[in-house]
């Protein structure tokens, strides 16, 4: 009986913590989708904060400084913090988040490439960032299109293979 009361109390506490997130009677599908969106944004915000804490832990372990105070990690830390706060307030991801994420990741990769040239340990971090970029690329996250990315007009000879010339040379065996 007591364990049943505890279970009920625990369930009631969880329900109270969720508050208005529970489905009200007569909720429409659109309202349920809007509620699901709010939950997803809050969950994504929390996931970003968890990642930010891991970056902070890595920075503290490697350098003794918090990520926000270290030049290599400060940019990523600021971006994660801003994005997490925007999502927690109910803001959407927006069309700019993919290119912004890709550009921030490219900047971090460039920094770690420089470090990896001198430090063996930096190569592992570089490989992790490169792997993350590959995963994001597969799900469609790309940097903003620049002038080099714009489609160009095809050249007249495009699509045809260049003609190979063969030069014959006498081989002397000796």
Domain boundaries, the chain: 34-93, 95-144
Taking only the tens of pLDDT, the chain with its 174 residues reads 455 555 445 555 555 555 545 667 778 888 888 888 788 888 888 888 998 898 888 888 888 989 889 888 888 888 888 888 877 887 655 566 778 788 888 999 999 999 999 988 889 889 988 988 887 777 677 777 765 554 544 444 455 566 667 677 777 776
Which stretches within the chain are classed as H helix? Answer: 2-18, 29-63, 74-88, 97-116, 122-138
Contacts of 83 (CB under 8 A, 6+ apart): 48, 97
Burial bucket for residue 10 (CB in 10 Å: 0-12, 13-18, 19+): exposed
Among 97, 73, 104, CA closest to 83: 97
Apex 43 CA angle, 95 and 99, nearest 5: 20
State the pTM of this model. Answer: 0.45
Q: How far apart are CA 167 and CA 93, in angstroms?
A: 59
Q: How far apart are CA 39 and CA 22, in angstroms?
A: 11
């Amino acid at each position: 009986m007591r364990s049943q009361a505890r279970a009920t109390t625990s369930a009631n506490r969880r329900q109270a913590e969720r508050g208005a997130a529970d489905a009200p009677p007569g909720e429409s599908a659109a309202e349920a989708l809007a509620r699901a969106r709010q939950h997803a944004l809050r969950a994504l915000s929390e996931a970003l904060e968890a990642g930010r804490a891991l970056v902070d832990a890595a920075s503290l372990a490697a350098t003794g400084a918090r990520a926000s105070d270290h030049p290599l990690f400060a940019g990523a830390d600021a971006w994660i913090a801003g994005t997490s706060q925007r999502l927690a307030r109910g803001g959407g991801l927006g069309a700019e988040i993919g290119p912004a994420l890709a550009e921030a990741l490219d900047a971090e990769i460039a920094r770690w490439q420089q470090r990896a040239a001198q430090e063996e340990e930096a190569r592992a971090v570089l490989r992790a960032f490169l792997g993350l970029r590959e995963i994001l690329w597969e799900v469609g996250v790309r940097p903003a299109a620049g002038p080099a990315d714009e489609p160009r007009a095809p050249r007249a000879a495009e699509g045809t293979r260049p003609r190979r010339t063969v030069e014959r040379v006498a081989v002397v065996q000796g």
